Amino acid sequence: MGDTGLLAPEEVEAGQKRLQAVRDGLGRVILGQDELLDFVCVALAARGHVLLEGLPGLGKTELVRALGRLLGLTFGRVQFTPDLLPSDITGGPILQEEEGRRQFVFQQGPLFANLVLADEINRASPKTQSALLEAMQERHVTVFGESHPLPDPFFVLATQNPIELEGTYPLPEAQLDRFLFKVEVPSVGQDVLQAILTTRRRGQPPAIEPALDREALDALFTAVDAIFLPEPVAEYIARLVAATHPGTGVEKIASYVRYGASPRAAIAIGEAARAAALLAGRPNVDFGDVERVAPAALGHRLVLDHTARLEGVTPADVAGIVLGAVDPLARPLPKDVS
């Protein structure tokens, strides 16, 4: 680092190249989803979990598989179904016989991997969904009173079908709050469909080589941690999150929002903005980085009132209202101006 505490230009360039290599690799596998891939790479660099929502067949599962191959990390996949039990995810004790004695030995479940794909997470019961809460926040699981640490790094990328589809259970607010981002996976256009048909037999993506080894991934995390968050930008993040709560003076928030975003939302925006700044090749966060990541970090953390539902207002719409109402440069005057 330089004398100012910011990353040196060569360190910023090296970090950007590492993150861009992952982004380019994903772009070779997933076509026509540039914004989605940017969000996934930013979340990776910020060491956050991602919830992907979209209709079946849009490449959500293949995206997560490709990310595992690019990073050379251990990969675990859980297909969530209504009959899935918490122990099917975390693992549990198995009775084994050793040297003539029987004893319980903990058998790890698919959660014990660096990158875990929680496929169709909202098809499992709330009891099973809650098995991920401790893992996503604390990076360990507790079974029969014994704590078991998860691998480092540990990422959960979950896919979710729209709630309107039959056989789904909405994720509780506490579960949603563990995800750094919730990202919508849109349908692709005609040009992308034609490219898939003409370049990928049976829909098979091209083979890709790892883009980062463990040492390079650790260096990427170190670079993101060193990105500078100026005080005016931090203050802007705090005002954005505070404005999501009723009674803060933002028009329509009182009518649309029952509960605003938690402090974890502010932390998520700050960390994601650092990663977005590195992807853009800058040593510090600016207001534009915050505005870029805030919608994906805020929307799923808002609990809307029935008025919003009746009027067809979505959490993403409310996040847009907040961003439009809070001026990055409007800072309150000091209380004592004498």
108: domain CATH number is 3.40.50.300
Is residue 245 in some structural domain?
no
Mean pLDDT, residues 312-319 taken together: 90
Evaluate whether residue 52 is within a structural domain: yes
In a domain, 275, yes or no: no
Quick one: DSSP state of residue 333? P
Q: Which residues constitute the domain of residue 145?
A: 34-212
In a domain, 141, yes or no: yes
The reported pLDDT for the residue numbered 107 is 86
Express each pLDDT in 10-68 by its tens digit: 999 999 999 999 999 999 998 888 999 999 999 999 999 999 988 777 788 888 889 98
Look at residue 144 and tell me if it is in a domain: yes
Q: For residues 228 and 234, is the Cβ–Cβ distance under 8 A?
A: no
Q: Please say if the pLDDT value at position 85 is more than 70.
A: yes
- The structural domain count of the chain equals 1
**Would you place residue 195 in the very low, low, confident or very high pLDDT band (cuts 50, 70, 90)?**
confident
Residue 124: inside a domain, yes or no? yes
The Cα–Cα gap between 39 and 43 comes to 6
Q: What backbone phi and psi angles, to 5 degrees, belong to 126?
A: -55, -35
- Is residue 92 situated within a structural domain? yes
Instruction: Report the chain's mean pLDDT, rounded to a whole number.
Output: 87
Q: In what helix (H) or strand (E) does residue 220 lie, and over which residues does it extend?
A: helix 214-226
Looking at residues 160-182, what average pLDDT do you find?
80
Residue 233 included in any domain: no
pLDDT, average across residues 168-195 = 86
SS3 category, 92: strand
Confidence tier at 288 by pLDDT (50, 70, 90): very high
Using CA atoms of 251, 252, 258, 261 in order, give the dihedral in degrees to the nearest 10.
-50
